[in-house]
Amino acid sequence: MTSSMTLGRPVEKTVRRRPAALARFGMVLAINGGRYRVRPIPCDRTAASRCFELRKEDETTYHVSQHVHGPECDCPDFIFHRAGIDPAGCKHIKALAAYGMVEPTRN
Ligand SMILES: [Zn+2]
């Protein structure tokens, strides 16, 4: 785990502050048969340019953040099997990248 992963974590205290427009819209992304509610959340802009929260129906929640070196996710698959190993990332990163919401890691 790199130090940038820690820095890229969302700033929880500002999560509740979201633009009024976003309250009227919702996005659901199907990933390998699971359905996730996806929403942009504020993040530490010194570490990440954008952050998303992905919340599964069972309320399991992951965060994907976009960094200069590529996207990161806080799911176990990314942390233990993808970070620094697989440029394509975990299924959450692949799904967001497929819709242009994050930029894949450049080789
Ligand atoms: Zn993930």
Per-chain residues with Cβ under 5 A from ion ligand 1: 73, 75, 78, 90, 92
pLDDT at res. 3 = 45
Identify whether 2 is part of a domain: no
Interval between CA 57 and ligand 1 midpoint (Å): 15
The burial class, CB within 10 Å (0-12 / 13-18 / 19+), for 1 is exposed
Structural domain contains residue 104? no
Domain count, the chain: 1
Q: Is 74 part of a structural domain of the chain?
A: yes
CA of 90 to the centre of ligand 1 (A): 5
Q: Is residue 1 part of a domain?
A: no
Is 82 among the domain residues? Answer: yes
Per residue of the chain (107 residues), what is the pLDDT tens digit?
444 445 555 555 555 555 666 667 889 999 999 999 999 999 999 999 999 999 999 999 999 999 999 999 999 999 999 999 999 999 999 999 999 999 988 76
Q: Find the 62 Cα to ligand 1 centroid distance in Å.
A: 7
Domain that holds residue 90: 22-98
| Residue 36 is assigned to a structural domain of this protein | yes
Would residue 59 count as lying in a domain?
A: yes
